[in-house]
Amino acid sequence: MSDRSPSKETSAERSPWSRPSVLLSGAFLLALVLLGVVVAAIGGSSSNGRHSANTTTTAARPARPSAASSAGGCPEDPAASQTVPSTSPPQAQWGTVGAMQVPQNPTVYGPERSDGPWETCFAHNPAGALLAAMNLWAEGTAVPPSELFQRLAVGAPKNLGSNDQLDSGGPIQFAGYRYDAYAPSDAQVAIVFRGPEGKLLAVVTSMVWRDGDWKYVFPADGTPAMQVIADLTGYVQWSSF
């Protein structure tokens, strides 16, 4: 995997938002860090402009008629483009999952299945991994972390100790991404979130191809690498606003 993760700092006494970059302490579970502290730090507790918390996309997911099914039952297309969207985003439409606007392309990159808040069956290619990562975080505004990571992650503990959803501290939306690495078995992207006060946070998101779909790799120490960024320089801007 790529070594382009945001740089680490060891001080736990200063607010991460006063530093140029941060790797939050492994003493906190990801559920407490990412699904609670992140949102509050991005923009405080303002709820202005927040979408309905339980709104999800409900459109039917047409399957690729010529695709064979994977071990997990998701259609696979061996001819799917393997181009990494490192300089411009893949073609997609913006839908609503939980409280976030999220890119989707059901007939090309996925998700091909929608069941309540769950968006699954993404293409086995770089664009599919990117969309799977973004849809995963959007689902974090619709369900508690215990449900999210048990269903869509690899290596997550059974008891995450928090029921905070990703937007518990206020509304957030996607702002962009940086594609760090791709292989047919795994991918790593830094997803950028924008909070209600306009602050930007890049969160390293590692994905693995498992059981016929992309799954999130829960960090071994319970925390993802995160970096506060001033702007989207070095990232691909991608949002619905």
pTM score of the predicted model: 0.75
Angle subtended at Cα 88 by Cα 121 and Cα 34, rounded to the nearest 5 degrees? 60
Cα torsion 227, 234, 177, 67 to 10°: value is -140
Closest CA relative to residue 177, chosen from 89, 91, 93, 99: 89
Q: Which residues contact 144 (CB under 8 A, 6 or more apart)?
A: 162, 163, 164, 165
Q: Among 66-80, 177-191, 195-209, 210-224, which stretch is predicted with the lowest mean pLDDT?
A: 66-80
Q: Tens digit of pLDDT for each residue in 6-62? A: 544 433 333 333 333 333 322 233 433 454 445 444 544 333 333 333 333 333 344
For residue 196, is pLDDT > 80?
no
Kindly tell me if the per-residue pLDDT of 91 is higher than 90: yes
Element at 210 (helix H, strand E): strand 200-210
| pLDDT above 90 as % of the chain | 51
Domain definitions of the chain by residue range: 18-58+81-237
| 222 and 234 Cβ atoms separated by less than 8 Å | no
Instruction: Identify the three-state secondary structure at position 75.
Output: strand
User: What stretch of H or E contains 138?
Assistant: helix 126-139
